[in-house]
A and B are shown apart, each in its own frame.
Chain A
Amino acid sequence: AQSVTQLGSHVSVSEGALVLLRCNYSSSVPPYLFWYVQYPNQGLQLLLKYTTGATLVKGINGFEAEFKKSETSFHLTKPSAHMSDAAEYFCAVTSTGNQFYFGTGTSLTVIP
């Protein structure tokens, strides 16, 4: 069985501050991990993914995430928050590439 836990359903940061969104996964097989962003009234958009290889993954809009097997984590970071980053963020795990298991999401608010 696979699952994802996103700690913190709501995160607020000041514009220009570090963004850290937490994701921990549970998987009995090697996981493949994804971060998606959802803006209001829009579909989910892929930010980045980890499949194999380098554990530090860079995505769009300045986001990156590091796969840490020992900590079963895949936290999302961005050095400097921008107002346009305000959205809902979802972490997801799969082992087959077919069935994706999503977390409950983290709503990011950026304070001017």
Chain B
Amino acid sequence: DTGVSQDPRHKITKRGQNVTFRCDPISEHNRLYWYRQTLGQGPEFLTYFQNEAQLEKSRLLSDRFSAERPKGSFSTLEIQRTEQGDSAMYLCASSQEKGFNEQFFGPGTRLTVL
């Protein structure tokens, strides 16, 4: 068990560009979550998957945000036409399906939009 990994750890992009982040969950976890964390705030829930099914996406911040988990393993979060307000830390977490299990968090991807 190597924990939840995220790639890249840092991303600097220009406004208007598209960015994609990857999350690799703990291998036996079938739930995967995406959060956004801005400075001085707690993590803000964006979306989650159970296996490959995206069960909640209404909290995605706009239609510029999309997430996929095509084979029920790793997941990607894409932001199209980035804006300066998208600058934040994007966190991924995974958990087992049963009950109120601990979410294991990755180190995050820090996005800076210039």
Contact = CB atoms under 8 A, between A and B. Distances in A.
A97 B40 contact: no
- Chain B interface size band reads 20 to 34
A98 B56 contact: yes
A43 B106 contact: yes
Given A102-B43, A104-B40, A43 B99 contact: no
Contacts of B42: 4, 90, 92, 102-105
A51 B48 contact: no
Given A49-B102, A97-B101, A43 B4 contact: yes
B41 A104 contact: yes
A45 interface: yes
B91 A94 contact: no
Contacts, number: 60
Contacts of B102: 46, 49
Contacts of A94: 100
B67 to A, nearest CB: 14
A99 B45 CA distance: 7
Interface in B1-16: 3-4
A43 B5 CA distance: 10
A44 interface: yes
Nearest to B50: A98
Contacts of A41: 107
B55 interface: yes
A105 B41 contact: yes
A32 B40 CA distance: 24
Interface of B: 3-4, 31, 33, 35, 40-45, 48, 55-56, 59, 91, 93, 99-108
Interface of A: 4, 9, 32, 36, 41-46, 49, 51, 90, 92, 94, 97-105
